[in-house]
Structure 1
Amino acid sequence: MTEAGGLTKLQMYIGGEWVAPSGGDYIESVNPFTAQPWALVPRGNAQDADRAILAADEAFRNGPWGRMHASDRGAIIHRLGALIEKHADELAEIEVRDNGRLLAEMRHQIAYVAKWYYYYAGLADKIEGTVHPCDKPALSYSKHEPLGVCVGIVPWNAPLLLFSLKAAPALAAGNTIVMKPAETTSATALKLMELVEAAGFPPGVVNVVTGYGKEVGEPLATHPKTRHIGFTGSTATGAHLGMLAARDIKRVSLELGGKSPNIVFADADLDNAVRGVVGGIFGATGQTCIAGSRLLVQREVHDEFVEKLAAFTKAARVGDPCNPATQIGPMANQMQYQRVLDYIEVARNEGAKLALGGKHPEIEECATGYFIEPTIFTGVTNNMRIAREEVFGPVLSTIVFDDAEEAIAIANDSEFGLAAGVWTSDMRLALKMSDRLEAGSVWINTYRDISYTTPFGGYKKSGLGRENGVEGIREYLQTKAVWISTAKEIANPFVIG
C-alpha cells in the first residue's frame, strides 16, 4: 500500500508479487459513512486476469503445492487462519471503511472467519477414496482430486467472509485460486495477501485481481484454464456466469439472491421473535442475501407484533459504524442507497402502508453518509414487487396469514429459496414447516446463524451447490475411478461389460 493524494493506493497480488494494473487505472473506494474516497483500487483488465490465471495454473501443475502432502497444505492453511485471528481488528477497520458495516460486528465476524481456515485445514488430509465391491475380476477404487485453477468472485456486503467461504475449501482440496473481490470493497482481500505471504503459501497459489466484472470477472470466468467458478451475488449475474461457464463445461457454485420469509406464529415467544426479525432484516443494514425481508405474521397477533417490532426498531441507534453504540450503519455505496430509496417509493405506489422509516434519517452525523432509516411496511400482499424482488436494504414487508398451510403457500410462492425462519413453541409445527418450506436453510426460533460446519446454499433461483461443511469441499473435487484387473487374460476383446 502507498499513499497518492491522501488516498491509500493498493496493488494487486499475482504470482506472489505485488503488481500495478497493466492499464494504469484505478477506482476510488468510498467510505459510506463520509461519502468520501479513502483508497485507490487497481482497475484490472483482461491482461491482468490472464496473468493471474497463468500464474495459478503454473503453481498448480509445476509448483510445490500440488506435490505437497495434504497435511502440509493443511498446516499452511491453518497458519493463515491464525494470522487472520491475530489481525482481525485491523482487517475489521479496513472493511468498515470499505462497506460501512458496524465495527463491532466486523471484529466478531472476521475473528470467526479464521475458523473456516482451521476447519478446512483439518479436513485437507481426510479426503478419502472408496474401494468398490466390484462384480468384475478387478480391484476397483475411486479417489478425489483437485480441479485446478478456481476463480472466486465475491460481492461487497461481507467481502472477507465470502472470500473465505470459497478460498478455504478450494485450497484444502489442493486447488489454486484467483479471487476477484467487488471493485468497491477490495481492500481487505488485498490486505489478506500480506497474511498469505506470511503463512508461507507458494507463489501463484493465491492471487487477487481487482476491477469491474466485465473487464476482469468475465475474462477470469471464460479463460480456458479456469476449471471452477464460485460466485456470490445477484441471480442475474449468476445466471450470466453460469452461461459463460457452460460453454467450456466448467463447474460452478452459485450463491445468489433471496426473498426469505420470516414466519411468526401466534404461539411464539413474541419478544424473542421481535429480536430475531430485527436481526434478520436490519442487521448489516439489510444487505445480506439471507435477509428475512418478508415477515409473515399470523393474523391474531399481527397488530400486537407489529407494534412491538416498530417500538423496538425505532429505538435502534443509527450512525457512525465505528461507534460501539451504533446498531445500524449506512448502505455500502451510493448506487445501493438510491436503489433502496427507489424500492421504498415503489412500495408506496403499490399501496403498502409505511409503518416506520422510509427516508434518510434526520441525524446530524448521518447527513453526508448513505443512510436509510430502518423501514417497515404493512398491508403488503405477496404479489407486490416489494414482496417479490430482492431489495437488499433495511426494508421489511409484512404479510398476514391465517394458518400454517397459508403461510407455507405464501412463503414458497417465490422464485427464490435461500432461507426461511419459523417462530413457534410447537415443535411438531416447526418440523412440519422445516419439511415443507422450499429453502436451503430453515431456522427455528433463531435467524441468520451460519457455521463453517453446516452446508449453506439455495433452492430454485437462489443458487447451485453448497458452501461450508464437508459438502463445501466436494464442490472443489473431482472423482477418478481406477480399475486394476485381476484376470489372467481378457476373455473377449470385442465384448465390453
Structure 2
Amino acid sequence: MAYQLFGPDRLLGERPAMFIGGERVDSPQTRPVDNPATGEVFTEVPEATAEHVDQAMRAAETAQREWAGRSLPERAEVLAAVMREIDAHAEELAQIVVAEQGKTITEARGEIVGTRLFFDVAHGNKYAPIGEIFPPNQPGEHLMVREEPYGVVAAITPWNYPAAIFARKVAPAIMAGNAVVLKPSEVTPLAALALARLCQQAGVPDGVVNVVTGEGRVVGKQMCEHPVTQMVTLTGSSRAGQEILRQTAAKVIPVSLELGGKAPVIVFEDADLDAAVERAAEARFWNCGQVCTCNERTYVHASRYDEFASRFVEVAKQVKVADPTREDAQMGPKVSAEEWRKVKDFVDGAEAAGATVVYGGDRPAGAEFAKGYWFSPTVITGVGNEMDIVRQEVFGPVLPIVPFEKYDEVIAWANSTDYGLTAYVFTQNIDIAMRAVDDLQFGEVYVNKIGPEQPQGFHTGWKMSGLGGEDGKYGYQRYLRKKTVYLRYRG
C-alpha cells in the first residue's frame, strides 16, 4: 500500500523543496529518498549548496530580530496555532514518516502525538520568568540577570524520529525567541519539510523556521561554521557530535548534543519477571530497535536467567513484522541498507566470538521480505560483556542477554561502555533500586518501567552520550543566554 504524499493540497506540494525564508527553493542537484520496506526510490529532494545555506542563515538572521521583539505570550499564541495545524494534518504527517523512515503506521501516529507534545511543553513557558533580580551592594540600584535568545540556531536532526525531533528542537528554540535553520537527515528529509510548511500555515513568520537538505558532513559543516550561527544543536551519533565540536571550536559558540546510547536493562533476582520480560521486549523492538534509549543489552541474575531468556524468545517470536502501512504491524524494516548491514555485521561478529543466535539473526522468511531492509527480532545468548555486541551501539532489533551473579559485578558491566544515556532497573527492593540509581553512570534511570522519556523532564546523556540536553525547563534554558544589568536610579 502506498500513501498519497504529493499534490497541490499536500504539505509537500507536488514535489519536495527546501524551505528558506518562507519560500520553496530547489537545487540543480538532487538526492533520492527510498522506501525502507521495498528499497525503491519514490522521490528526490534538493541537495543544498553553500549558497543555499547562506541564504537560509541570512533569512533567519533578519527574521529573528522581529521575532525576538515579541513577548513570550505573543510567541506562545503562534505555537498554539502550530499545534492546531499538527492536529489537522496528523494523519498526513504520520504517512510521510512511514514512507521515508519505515516505522509502523501505529508508531508513526504516536510520533506525531509526541511532535505536538513538544510544542505544547514549549508553549508552557508562556509566563516563564525571563530573569532574576539580585540584591545590590548599594541602595538605589538594581542588579538584574536577564535571559535572551542566542539569535540563529543551527539544528541537525537524525532519521529515527524525523518529525518528533524537528519539534523537540524547533519548539523551544523559537519559543525562546531564536530563529532556526534545520538540516534533517539525508535519509529522512520529508517530515521536516512538511512541518516547516505547516509552521508557515500556522503563522510562524517567514525566516524563523528554515529547512535545508543535503549531506550532513557537507551541509551540516557549512551551517556550523557560518558566521551567522550562534548556537548548534544536534541529535545524532557520537561521531557526528565530535565533528561538530571541532567545527564550532574556533567560533566558541554553545553546542547541545544528544548522542548515542547503549542502554542496559538490569533484572535483579527479586524482579517481577512478567513485567521485566514484557518491558525489556518493548524497549528492544521499538522502531525496529532504532532508538538511542532502546534496550541494547540485558543483564539477568543467574538464578532467573534461563527462565527470562526462554520467555523473551517466545515474546520475540510473537512480534508481527509486516508492511508498516498495515494497522496490525508491530515492527517495520530498518531504515537503510547501510543500517541493515551494520546490524548484520554485529550479529555475525558475535557468533564468530562464540555467542549463540537462538532466534532471528537475518531477514525474516518470506517473499514479502526479500526486498527492502527487513531484519528479524533477534536474541543472542552465550554472550560475554567484553564482546562488541554488548559494548557498541547496535541500533537494531537484536538483544544480547547476559547472566550476572553479584550487584557490584552488574553495575560495573553496565557502566563499562563509553555511553551514558539511559539505564533500566527491575527490582522490588527499594534499597537495591536506589543504590542502582546512585551508582549507574547515566543521565536517565528508569526503575520498574521503560520510556519513552517524558518531555516535561530532562533528556540528557553523560560521557559519549551527549552534552547539554533536551526537554522541559532545563532543555528550554539551553536556548537562552544570560545578560547581567547593573542599574543605578538614585543619586
Within the candidate set 302, 311, 333, 1:308 is matched to: 311
* Partners of 1:8 and 1:435 in 2: CA distance: 54
Q: Does 1:108 align with 2:114?
A: no
* Partners of 2:197 and 2:228 in 1: CA distance: 26
Secondary structure at the aligned position of 1:302 is classed as helix
Amino acid at match of 1:38: F
Within the candidate set 22, 25, 34, 1:16 is matched to: 22
* Partners of 1:228 and 1:460 in 2: CA distance: 21
User: Which residue does 1:118 correspond to in 2?
Assistant: 120
Secondary structure at the aligned position of 1:72 is classed as helix
Q: Is the 8 A contact 1:234 1:257 kept in 2?
A: yes
* Partners of 1:433 and 1:271 in 2: CA distance: 21
TM-score (norm 2): 0.95
TM-score (norm 1): 0.94
User: Which residue does 1:491 correspond to in 2?
Assistant: none
State the Cα distance separating 1:146 from its structure 2 match.
Answer: 0.2
Q: Assess, with a 3 A threshold, how the Cα gap between structure 1 residues 8 and 406 changes in structure 2: closer, same or farther.
A: farther
User: Which residue does 2:202 correspond to in 1?
Assistant: 199
Q: Does 1:32 align with 2:58?
A: no
Amino acid at match of 2:203: G
State the Cα distance separating 1:135 from its structure 2 match.
Answer: 2.5
Amino acid at match of 2:61: D
User: Which residue does 2:290 correspond to in 1?
Assistant: 287
State the Cα distance separating 1:204 from its structure 2 match.
Answer: 0.5
Amino acid at match of 1:13: F
Q: Is the 8 A contact 1:14 1:51 kept in 2?
A: yes
Amino acid at match of 1:116: F
Larger deviation: 395-404 or 151-160? 395-404
Q: Does 1:176 align with 2:157?
A: no
Q: Is the 8 A contact 1:148 1:176 kept in 2?
A: yes
Q: Is the 8 A contact 2:115 2:165 kept in 1?
A: no
State the Cα distance separating 1:214 from its structure 2 match.
Answer: 2.4
Secondary structure at the aligned position of 1:455 is classed as coil
Secondary structure at the aligned position of 2:230 is classed as strand
Secondary structure at the aligned position of 2:204 is classed as coil
Secondary structure at the aligned position of 2:163 is classed as helix
User: Which residue does 2:135 correspond to in 1?
Assistant: 133
Q: Is the 8 A contact 2:392 2:417 kept in 1?
A: no
User: Which residue does 1:67 correspond to in 2?
Assistant: 69
Within the candidate set 362, 366, 383, 2:369 is matched to: 366
* Partners of 1:487 and 1:126 in 2: CA distance: 30
Residues 160-239 of structure 1: pairs in structure 2 closer than 5 A: 160-239=163-242
* Partners of 1:264 and 1:324 in 2: CA distance: 32
State the Cα distance separating 1:8 from its structure 2 match.
Answer: 6.2
* Partners of 1:443 and 1:429 in 2: CA distance: 13
State the Cα distance separating 1:66 from its structure 2 match.
Answer: 2.1
Give runs of ≥4 in structure 1 deviating > 6 Å: none
* Partners of 2:14 and 2:99 in 1: CA distance: 12
Secondary structure at the aligned position of 1:263 is classed as strand
User: Which residue does 1:50 correspond to in 2?
Assistant: 54
* Partners of 2:419 and 2:411 in 1: CA distance: 14
Q: Is the 8 A contact 1:298 1:402 kept in 2?
A: yes
* Partners of 2:115 and 2:84 in 1: CA distance: 10
State the Cα distance separating 1:164 from its structure 2 match.
Answer: 1.0
May I ask how many residue pairs the two structures share in their alignment?
481
Q: Is the 8 A contact 1:354 1:378 kept in 2?
A: yes
User: 1:169-213 CA distances to partner (integer Å, 9 max, x unpaired)?
Assistant: 101100000010001101111111221111111110000000101
User: Which residue does 2:351 correspond to in 1?
Assistant: 348
Within the candidate set 149, 168, 174, 1:146 is matched to: 149
User: Which residue does 1:82 correspond to in 2?
Assistant: 84
* Partners of 2:480 and 2:423 in 1: CA distance: 29
State the Cα distance separating 1:487 from its structure 2 match.
Answer: 6.9
* Partners of 2:472 and 2:299 in 1: CA distance: 30
Secondary structure at the aligned position of 1:9 is classed as coil
* Partners of 1:159 and 1:382 in 2: CA distance: 33
Amino acid at match of 1:198: Q
Q: Is the 8 A contact 1:273 1:423 kept in 2?
A: yes
Q: Is the 8 A contact 1:8 1:38 kept in 2?
A: no
User: Which residue does 1:475 correspond to in 2?
Assistant: 478
State the Cα distance separating 1:486 from its structure 2 match.
Answer: 5.5
User: 1:36-67 CA distances to partner (integer Å, 9 max, x unpaired)?
Assistant: 11111111121111110110001113xx3122
User: Which residue does 1:495 correspond to in 2?
Assistant: none
Q: Which runs of 5+ in 1 are unaligned?
A: 489-497
Within the candidate set 308, 314, 317, 2:320 is matched to: 317
Residues 329-340 of structure 1: pairs in structure 2 closer than 5 A: 329-340=332-343
User: Which residue does 1:493 correspond to in 2?
Assistant: none
Q: Is the 8 A contact 2:111 2:161 kept in 1?
A: no
* Partners of 2:77 and 2:124 in 1: CA distance: 8
Q: Is the 8 A contact 1:153 1:179 kept in 2?
A: yes
Q: Is the 8 A contact 1:74 1:124 kept in 2?
A: yes
* Partners of 1:108 and 1:374 in 2: CA distance: 21
* Partners of 2:425 and 2:24 in 1: CA distance: 48
State the Cα distance separating 1:127 from its structure 2 match.
Answer: 3.2
Q: Is the 8 A contact 1:124 1:173 kept in 2?
A: no
* Partners of 1:151 and 1:125 in 2: CA distance: 26
Secondary structure at the aligned position of 2:177 is classed as coil
Secondary structure at the aligned position of 2:425 is classed as strand
State the Cα distance separating 1:215 from its structure 2 match.
Answer: 2.4
CA RMSD of aligned residues (A): 1.5
User: Which residue does 1:98 correspond to in 2?
Assistant: 100
Amino acid at match of 1:73: R
Within the candidate set 230, 240, 256, 2:259 is matched to: 256
Secondary structure at the aligned position of 2:221 is classed as helix
Q: Is the 8 A contact 1:417 1:461 kept in 2?
A: yes
Q: Which runs of 5+ in 2 are unaligned?
A: 1-5
* Partners of 2:330 and 2:78 in 1: CA distance: 37
Secondary structure at the aligned position of 1:297 is classed as strand
State the Cα distance separating 1:241 from its structure 2 match.
Answer: 0.3
Residues 445-464 of structure 1: pairs in structure 2 closer than 5 A: 445-464=448-467
Secondary structure at the aligned position of 2:295 is classed as coil
User: Which residue does 1:494 correspond to in 2?
Assistant: none
The share of aligned pairs that are identical, in percent, is 37
* Partners of 1:452 and 1:259 in 2: CA distance: 21
Amino acid at match of 1:242: L
State the Cα distance separating 1:485 from its structure 2 match.
Answer: 2.7
Q: Is the 8 A contact 1:81 1:116 kept in 2?
A: no
Q: Is the 8 A contact 1:74 1:125 kept in 2?
A: no
* Partners of 2:327 and 2:58 in 1: CA distance: 44
